[in-house]
A and B are shown apart, each in its own frame.
Chain A
């Protein structure tokens, strides 16, 4: 049992971060906090990919003498792309928040909702 828990420690970290981020996205009304939560959520998935690419005892995947075992570089490359997507999403989200703040004077979702309803 102990072995099962310790042996899968990367998954526990991933699941913890994933739920933390997801909960933040759902529960917070502050738009910047939502984006922070979204970031944590995404990063947990990046960790999932990177940790499954690791091969026990493997080294950096560069061919050199004396090494026969290499980690799988493909998940890392995939995640490089996903990180770029994440950066773009964050930048765009924050840009929208800046514009929302200018248009409404607040970034709290319920206050924005009230302003839209009172029109």
Chain B
């Protein structure tokens, strides 16, 4: 599909918009519907589109699978790490109230960080699943 001009132009036009939308869903998640799961899937959809149009090898040069694997772990670590931070601040596991001076501010901060971790893990796991399936039996 590398020679298909229309697809390439449209994909280049669409990918930034998809990524932007993903970021909106990600960081607006504490005020409106949205959050890490949805944003992660939308974010990875942009890269999957890129991989379909420009080829798997090009896409893997942009995000190598090893990096994705590390990112997936880092996302979980952000989540669990926040839990441990709240423990050390004297609250229960994932008790966001202790994260800032005001409980509500703490909840905002907590949800934002947690969803960031979720988003990173979901998007990198989605991409990993895609790359693993698509890259099987590659010549």
Contacts and interface: CB of A to CB of B under 8 A. Distances in A.
A touching B, CB within 8 angstroms: yes
Interface stretch (A7-15, A26-34, A91-99): A91-99
Contacts, number: 12
Contacts of A62: 32-33
A77 B128 CA distance: 25
A80 B133 contact: no
B37 interface: yes
A84 interface: yes
A59 interface: no
Interface residues of B, number: 8
A96 to B, nearest CB: 12
B33 A60 contact: yes
Given A80-B37, A84-B37, A95 B32 contact: no
The DSSP consensus for interface residues of chain A is helix
Contacts of B14: none
A60 B34 CA distance: 13
Contacts of A98: 133, 136
A97 B32 CA distance: 39
B39 to A, nearest CB: 13
A33 B6 CA distance: 35
A84 B35 CA distance: 14
Q: Which 5 A-B pairs have the closest CB atoms?
A: A91-B129, A98-B136, A80-B37, A84-B37, A62-B32
Interface of A: 60, 62, 80, 84, 91, 94-95, 98, 102
Given A60-B33, A62-B33, A94-B133, 5 more contacts: A62-B32, A80-B37, A84-B37, A91-B129, A98-B133
